[in-house]
Amino acid sequence: AQSVTQLDSQVPVFEEAPVELRCNYSSSVSVYLFWYVQYPNQGLQLLLKYLSGSTLVKGINGFEAEFNKSQTSFHLRKPSVHISDTAEYFCAVIDFGNEKLTFGTGTRLTIIP
């Protein structure tokens, strides 16, 4: 069975500072990986995804993530955060041939002015 661990439930960061949100996954087969963002009182918006190819994936709003198969990680990074990045971030995994997304418990990113 697949699982996702987001070790940090909350991450406070000063505006214009860099940020890394950590995600580790567990699966017995090959996977696709995703990061979704959820702004207050809204649904989930896709930030970026890793399906195959280059392990460095670029997404919207200046975010990027790196797939590391040996570490089973897919950490999300942004070099300089903005107040508008305040949101909940969810890492998710889906096994090849499966249709079910498994989510982590989320990381709340708070930007300090």
Residues in touch with other proteins (CB under 8 A) = 4, 34, 36, 42-46, 49, 90, 92, 98-106
19 versus 104: smaller Cβ distance to other proteins: 104
Structural tokens at position 36: 């979704």
45 versus 80: smaller Cβ distance to other proteins: 45
Side-chain-side CA neighbours of residue 74 (13 Å): 29
Backbone angles phi and psi of 85, in degrees to 5: -80, -5
Q: How far is the CB of 12 from other proteins (least distance, A)?
A: 17
Q: How far is the CB of 31 from other proteins (least distance, A)?
A: 13
Q: How far is the CB of 96 from other proteins (least distance, A)?
A: 9
13 versus 47: smaller Cβ distance to other proteins: 47
Under 8 Å between Cβ of 74 and 50: yes
How are beta strands 45-50 and 107-112 bridged, if at all? Answer: unpaired
